Amino acid sequence: MNKVDVIVIGLGSMGGAAASALAQRGHSVLGIERFWPSHDRGSAHGGTRIIRQSYIEGIEYVPLLRRAYAGWRELEEQSGRSLMTLSGGIYIGDPEEQTFTGALAAARHWDLPHEVLTSDEITERFPAMRPAPHAMGLFEQNAGFVDPEGTTAANIQVATMHGAELHFGETVLSWTATPGGGVEVVTTRARYGADRLVVAPGAWSQQLLGEVGAPVTAERQVVYWFTPDVSPGNPGHSDYSVGTQPVFIERTDGNRQVYGFPIVDGPAGGIKIGFFQDLTPTDPDAVNREVLPFEVAEMQARALELFPHLTGRLLASSTCLYPSSPDDHFMIGLHPEHSQVTVATGFGGHGFKFVPVVGDIVADLSTRGRTDLPIDLFSLEREALRR
């Protein structure tokens, strides 16, 4: 094929959004993905991803989240798909714990609509949950979840509609910056040239980004779907479902932080729950996809501390990879040695909700060399990334 303006490596969450944003701006785009569209080998599968604005991880993220929310609605319109459901979200913790205090700090700083609830008030409103008596919760109406597989499919659809050429089942083996300022990319099928390159390989960052990708570790994460016991006298099925139960994040009494989702798929569904951080670095090409009985037991025991009647069956479990940076902040910027190369990685366990705005940031950097959106926190040259 003829030389294109931009090659995008990785058509997962962020690469898909970048390909779509670049194609919409009129650039010729070649996207290369080793697996299939909306695959389950990386970071973007499992049906749901939390989206929220009272951001526990830092108030700096909030302007980007506001922009992302608008981007989600735009992507829904462009693709004709329903992607975002605002079910409400609750962040529960000890009164001095980050889960609660971080959310409260962001809500206050940016004047985001929210309600502070005591433990009893939480159970009154959301009967499936019974937090520790001293726990506090911040409830945010404007939170909920997005559909990861649907989002990737939507970005692929919009990119293609705008003329992008997307290859699946093709693995990038290497790329080089050419002396004239362009790039050359070698894959399992061919060799391609372009003026610019976007590298968004998620958990495979160490393989494709050399020293720049070295700080990114692939972490194995498991999510579980459990059914509740809805015998008479217990909270009913609807108490666990979208409409009543919000998405949740909880950490009380020094426990491991958990997060999860209401039942989204009717009477046969279950509550989806997982540990938020569970630092198990792994080789992304040799992930143990088997979930062991002790892992299930550990999760169920922890889940019962918040949902006392979540004693039903394990419906399913699924392994997923966090492409994590050492300080859990994203890594977005121009490659320090090759300004024709834009890097987008390190999204860890909290990047998905930013997909549309990351697409815009990457398209800005790749075509203009700069962006007006606030991304200082994500610098590729920050101290925390140096070992």
Distances (CA, A) of 114 to 52, 62, 91, 109, 382: 11, 14, 11, 12, 33
Nearest distance in Å: CB 173, ligand FAD? 7
Nearest to 56 by CA among 19, 7, 89: 89
CB closer to ligand FAD out of 307 and 322: 322
Count of positions (residues) in the chain: 387
Q: How far apart are CA 333 and CA 314, in angstroms?
A: 41
Stretch that binds ligand FAD, among 70-78, 190-198, 203-211, 292-300 (CB under 6 A): 203-211
Which of helix, strand or coil describes residue 25?
coil
Contact 311, 228 (CB under 8 A): yes
Residue pointed to by tokens 């300080």: 327
Nearest to ligand FAD of 229, 285 (CB atom) = 285
Positions in 163-182 near ligand FAD (CB under 6 A): 171-172
Query: How near is the Cβ of 346 to ligand FAD at its closest, in Å?
Result: 8
Contact predicate 11/166, CB 8 Å: yes
Please select the residue that binds ligand FAD; options are 206, 221, 366, 367, rule is CB under 6 A: 221
x/- mask, ligand FAD, residues 11-50, rule CB under 6 A, reads: xxxxx----------------xxxx-----xxxx-x--xx
Q: By Cβ distance, which residue is nearest to ligand FAD?
A: 12
Residues 345-364 that bind ligand FAD (CB under 6 A): 345, 347-353
Alpha-carbon separation of residue 146 from 48, 127, 140, 223, 322 (angstroms): 6, 24, 16, 16, 17
The least distance separating ligand FAD from the CB of residue 239, rounded to whole angstroms, comes to 22
Q: What is the x/- site pattern for ligand FAD, positions 259-298, by CB under 6 A?
A: ---------------x------------------------
Query: Which parts of this chain interact with ligand FAD (CB under 6 A)?
Result: 9-15, 32-35, 41-44, 46, 49-50, 171-172, 200-204, 208, 221, 223, 274, 320-323, 345, 347-353
